[in-house]
């Protein structure tokens, strides 16, 4: 395994940072702990952290966990010397500027120019979506919010917190929002906002944004794009299949966007981002503080955020990463996304050729998430076999995930002439295996992943 470059690089950068404050008189830190005592505690920490799945390794291909880039880890740790707070300029002068620049880089992916949008980092995608739905509620008070039944559960929960009525819309056989069901709900009226998911948590499905934008022209609602997972895929839109490609090309026409740099953006947790196309929504954040906002005439990020204290180190890490890996088509960052997608397509191809498995009937993965069902006579048996395979893979240090999905996604829906009971079977759910191939290394490691999956399946699934 390649040695970790961060300690050496961080030591050098720490010297540069120390020189920036060399004019200050020296002082002794107010702690009685010795270096030896601290070392012992850190050893204990390291041992405790060993009780984890190896999220950083290519053999971890389960949940949405992508290791931060070395420059992000180093920049975050370096910023901890200062420990900036990006609520106000007093607490994070440099890191506030770095956040503004980094957020502008993200917005530029969607065609939004500095000064023509409003946005900032958050501590998570949940908080980012909270702010977007809060603004939607302020702009359309008393009106409902609609979202796919495959949208992240945070939307219905947030709507409950905000006391806004949230209605789930059925999906098609690809896990995307069903347009007929959406329009039927729109005809009933009183809809203020529609949440469009660009990369669902379960399977990476991409809602039909272009068609939903056309419905916006007819029914007059706000479009919020939850691209927490999939937002960066616009950088490789040409590699995507229709209609996902068109959807990513149209993101810039949304009213608000959420993206999580701590997913595909190579950042430590937590680092979310919310963007608003209309900078005028800043009026909803307006508040006064007798002790916070008087040291600078420039914008304080706390003036456009529901959160108060926010880690300036997250902004520093993101800025450093985007400085090293610009968010541009054809660049190293985009090539990393493309590697993960190719790995997912190849895994899907192999699964479709293996008689023990069933991939989704409707088509290939839209992003880099692969799901598959174990072939069996009934959903209960298929679910049990999937759980057995999951455990057998783990014993071989291959870590996948389990997900509960509609059975109809793997079998053709019942026809009017279907045998009695067939329709009910099609509309039950089944436990499936799931792999998120979001690390660039997954492409090179796919043969090893496949070999371990086949070995584990040979133990638990009959040919």
- The candidate with the shortest Cα–Cα distance to 270, out of 282, 279, 255, 260, is 260
Q: For the chain, give every residue range classified as CATH 3.90.1150.10.
A: 332-412+422-460
Instruction: Reply yes or no on whether the pLDDT at 75 is more than 90.
Output: yes
Residue 412 is given by DSSP the state P
Do the Cβ atoms of 67 and 292 come closer than 8 Å?
no
- Measured from the Cβ of residue 347, the count of other Cβ atoms closer than 10 Å reads 23
**Secondary structure of 387-404 in the HEC alphabet?**
HHHHHHHHHCCCECEEEE
Q: Which of 43-47, 130-134, 356-360, 409-413 has the lowest mean pLDDT?
A: 409-413
pLDDT tens sequence across 87-129: 888 888 899 999 999 999 999 999 999 889 999 999 999 999 9
pLDDT tens sequence across 294-335: 455 556 787 888 898 899 999 999 999 999 999 999 999 999
Q: Report the pLDDT value the prediction gives residue 3, as an integer from 0 to 100.
A: 75
Question: In Å, what is the CA distance from 241 to each residue of 70, 107, 134, 228, 363?
Answer: 32, 23, 33, 20, 10
Instruction: Reply yes or no on whether the pLDDT at 156 is more than 50.
Output: yes
Instruction: Reply yes or no on whether the pLDDT at 425 is more than 80.
Output: no
54-75 average pLDDT score = 96
Domain 93-324: top CATH class: alpha beta
Q: Report the pLDDT value the prediction gives residue 7, as an integer from 0 to 100.
A: 84
Instruction: Reply yes or no on whether the pLDDT at 370 is more than 70.
Output: yes
Q: Report the pLDDT value the prediction gives residue 277, as an integer from 0 to 100.
A: 97
Residue 423 binned pLDDT confidence (cut-offs 50, 70, 90): very low
207-218 average pLDDT score = 98
CATH 3.90.1150.10 correct for 332-412+422-460? yes
Q: For the chain, give every residue range classified as CATH 3.40.640.10.
A: 93-324
Strand 369-374 to 118-122 pairing: unpaired
Q: Report the pLDDT value the prediction gives residue 237, as an integer from 0 to 100.
A: 97
Instruction: Reply yes or no on whether the pLDDT at 417 is more than 60.
Output: no
- DSSP-assigned letters across all residues of 348-387: HHHHHHSTTEEE-TT-S-SSSEEEEEEP-SSHHHHHHHHH
């Amino acid at each position: 395994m390649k040695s970790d470059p961060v300690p050496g690089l961080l030591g050098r950068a720490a010297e540069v940072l120390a020189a920036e404050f060399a004019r200050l008189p020296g002082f002794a830190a107010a702690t009685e702990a010795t270096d030896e005592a601290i070392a012992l505690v850190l050893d204990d920490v390291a041992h405790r952290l060993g009780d984890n799945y190896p999220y950083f390794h290519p053999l971890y291909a389960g949940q949405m966990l992508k290791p931060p880039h070395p420059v992000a880890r180093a920049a975050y740790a370096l910023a901890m010397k200062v420990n900036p707070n990006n609520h106000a300029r007093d607490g994070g002068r440099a890191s506030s500027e770095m956040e503004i620049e980094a957020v502008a880089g993200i917005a530029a992916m969607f065609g939004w120019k500095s000064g023509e949008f409003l946005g900032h980092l958050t501590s998570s995608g949940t908080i980012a979506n909270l702010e977007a739905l809060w603004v939607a509620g302020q702009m359309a008070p008393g009106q409902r919010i609609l979202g796919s039944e495959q949208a992240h559960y945070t939307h219905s929960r947030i709507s409950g917190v905000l006391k806004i009525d949230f209605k789930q819309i059925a999906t098609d056989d690809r896990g995307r929002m069903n347009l007929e069901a959406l329009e039927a709900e729109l005809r009933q009226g009183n809809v203020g906002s529609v949440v469009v998911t660009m990369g669902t948590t379960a399977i990476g499905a991409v809602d039909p944004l272009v068609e939903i934008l056309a419905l916006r022209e007819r029914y007059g609602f706000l479009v919020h794009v939850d691209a927490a997972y999939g937002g960066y895929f616009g950088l490789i839109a040409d590699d995507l299949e229709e209609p996902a490609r068109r959807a990513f090309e149209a993101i810039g026409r949304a009213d608000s966007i959420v993206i999580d740099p701590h997913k595909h953006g190579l950042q430590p947790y937590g680092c979310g981002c919310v963007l608003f196309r209309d900078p005028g929504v800043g009026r909803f954040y307006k508040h006064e503080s007798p002790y916070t906002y008087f040291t600078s005439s420039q914008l304080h990020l706390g003036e456009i955020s529901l959160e108060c204290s926010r880690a300036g180190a997250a902004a520093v890490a993101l800025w450093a990463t985007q400085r090293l890996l610009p968010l541009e088509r054809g660049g190293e960052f985009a090539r990393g996304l493309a590697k993960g997608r190719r790995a997912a397509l190849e895994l899907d191809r192999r699964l479709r050729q293996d008689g023990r498995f069933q991939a989704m009937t409707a088509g290939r993965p839209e992003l880099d998430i692969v799901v598959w069902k174990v072939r069996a006579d009934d959903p209960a048996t298929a679910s049990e076999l999937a759980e057995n395979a999951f455990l057998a893979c783990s014993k071989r240090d291959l870590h996948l995930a389990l997900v509960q999905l509609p059975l109809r996604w793997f079998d053709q829906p019942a026809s009017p002439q279907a045998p009695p009971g067939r329709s009910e079977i099609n509309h039950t759910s089944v436990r499936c295996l799931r792999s998120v191939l979001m690390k660039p290394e997954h492409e090179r490691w796919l043969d090893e992943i496949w070999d371990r999956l086949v070995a584990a399946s040979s133990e638990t699934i009959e040919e």
